Structure 1
Amino acid sequence: MRNHAAMSIMQLLYRRIFASIIDYGIIGIYGIFLFLLTQSIASECNLNLNIHPFESQLIGFLCLTLPVFLYSYLTEKSNWKGTIGKRILNINVTPNPAASHDHIFLRNLLKYLPWELAHTGVHWTIYYSQKEMELALWIWGLLMGPQIIAIVYFASIVKTKGERSVYDEIAKTKICIINSN
C-alpha cells in the first residue's frame, strides 16, 4: 500500500508538469495568433510599433497577460477546478476548506506576477536598445528576478512532489489527483 501511495504522489508531479505543458502550449498558440494579428494589422494600416514601454506594457497586459490570468482563474474557480491541461490529466486545484475564490485569485496573481515583471523588462530592453542606451540595473532586475522566482516556484513543486508550490502555499491551495471512482 505504501508503494502505491508513493507512486501516486510522483504521478501528481508528472501530471502537474504535463498539465503545465498543455496549458502553456495553448497559451503559446494564443500568443502566436496575437503576434500574427498584430503584424497583419500593423502592415495593413502602416502602424509604427515603436511605442513607449508604458504603452506596450498596457497593450501586452490587456491582450496577453489578462486573458491568460482570467483563463486560469475562471477555470480553477469553476466546477472544473482546473485549466484544460489539469482536466486532461485528472488533477485539480483544491483550496483549503476555509478558503474562498479569493485564494484562487491570489494563487493566479502570484503565479503570473513574475511573467508580467519579465514582460516589463523586455519592453524596457527594447526601448533602451532602440535608443542605443545601456540597460539600467533595474531593467536587469526585471529580467533576472522573475527567472529566479520561476526556479523557486518549480523547485517547490518538485519538493512537494507536485502538491504545492510557493504560490499554492501562500494562497492556501493545493493540487490533487481527481479520483475516477
Structure 2
Amino acid sequence: MSTRQPDRPPFRTRIAALLVDYALILGWMALLGGASLILALATGRFYNWLELGAFGAQLLGFAVLVLPVGIYLFSTEASQRQATVGKRLRRLKVIDAVTGGRPARGQVLVRTIIKLLPWELAHFSIWHSAALAAEGAQQWPGWLLAVTVAANLLPVAYILMAGLQRHGRGPHDLAAGTRVVQVEAG
C-alpha cells in the first residue's frame, strides 16, 4: 500500500464524471416520463400532482426522483469501488479526507444529502410556485424568491468550490470529511 497522497483530479475530469452521472439521472427521468405517458394513455388524463398540495407533490417528487438518485449516489460511493459510474469511468473515487482510506457509510450519507440539497430546494421552490400560480397569485413571497435564487446559485457554488478549493472539495466533501481523488491505472 502506497503512503503517497492520492492525486487531486483535474477539474475537467470531475466535470466529465458529473456529466456521465447526470446522463444516467436523465435516463431515469426519461423512464419516469415514459411511465407517466403510459399511465396517462391508459387513464385518459395526466395526474396533477398538485392535487396532493404543494407539500404532497414535493414528497411524491422526492420519492420517485430524488430518493432513487440518492440511493444510486450513496450505494455506489459506499461500495467497494467508492465511485459512481461517472467517477469509475474517469478513474475517480471518494476517500476519507483524513485517512485517505474508504469513507464510512455515515460520511457517504452526509455527502449524498448535502449534494442533493440544492436539488430538493429547487423542487420545493417549483412546487410552491406552481401551487401559487394555480391559485392565481400575482406575486410570490420574498422567502420563496430567496429559496429559488439559492436553489439556482448553490449548484454553481458547489462546482466552483470543487474547481477552486485547494483539494478540490465541494461543500458536500467538506461536510462529510471526504474528497475525490484520481486513481492510478491498474
Q: What's the TM-score once normalised by structure 1's chain length?
A: 0.87
**Could you say what secondary structure the match of 1:174 adopts?**
strand
Q: What RMSD over aligned residues (CA atoms) do the two structures have, in Å?
A: 1.9
Residue of structure 2 in register with 1:150 after alignment:
155
Residue of structure 2 in register with 1:32 after alignment:
30
- Partner amino acid for 1:57? Q
What runs of 5+ residues in structure 2 fail to find an aligned partner?
Answer: 1-6
**Could you say what secondary structure the match of 2:10 adopts?**
helix
Residue of structure 2 in register with 1:5 after alignment:
none
- Partner amino acid for 1:112? L
**Contact 1:14–1:162 (8 Å) recurs in 2:** no
**Contact 2:161–2:169 (8 Å) recurs in 1:** yes
Residue of structure 1 in register with 2:75 after alignment:
74
Closer/same/farther in 2, CA of residues 127 and 26 from structure 1, 3 Å limit: same
- 1:100-141 per-position Cα deviation (integer Å, ceiling 9, x unaligned): 211111011000011001111101111111111122222212
- 1:10-42 per-position Cα deviation (integer Å, ceiling 9, x unaligned): x53111100000000110111121122113213
Q: Percent identity?
A: 24
Residue of structure 1 in register with 2:181 after alignment:
176
Residue of structure 2 in register with 1:85 after alignment:
86
- 1:46-78 per-position Cα deviation (integer Å, ceiling 9, x unaligned): 354142112211110000000000100110000
1:102 pairs with 2:106: yes
The 1-side partners of 2:143 and 2:34 are apart by 31
Residue of structure 2 in register with 1:3 after alignment:
none
- Partner amino acid for 1:36? G
**Correspondent of 2:16 among 18, 23, 29:** 18
More displaced 10-residue stretch of structure 1: 19-28 or 138-147: 138-147
The 1-side partners of 2:92 and 2:10 are apart by 8
**Contact 1:16–1:162 (8 Å) recurs in 2:** no
Paired residue total = 173
More displaced 10-residue stretch of structure 1: 157-166 or 108-117: 157-166
Deviation at 1:161, TM superposition (A): 6.6
**Correspondent of 1:141 among 143, 146, 171:** 146
Q: What's the TM-score once normalised by structure 2's chain length?
A: 0.85
**Could you say what secondary structure the match of 1:123 adopts?**
helix
**Contact 2:37–2:46 (8 Å) recurs in 1:** no
Q: Structure 1 runs of 4+ off > 4 angstroms?
A: none
Match runs of 1:42-53 below 5 Å: 42-45=40-43, 46=45, 48-49=47-48, 50-51=50-51, 52-53=53-54
- Partner amino acid for 1:17? I
Closer/same/farther in 2, CA of residues 42 and 56 from structure 1, 3 Å limit: farther
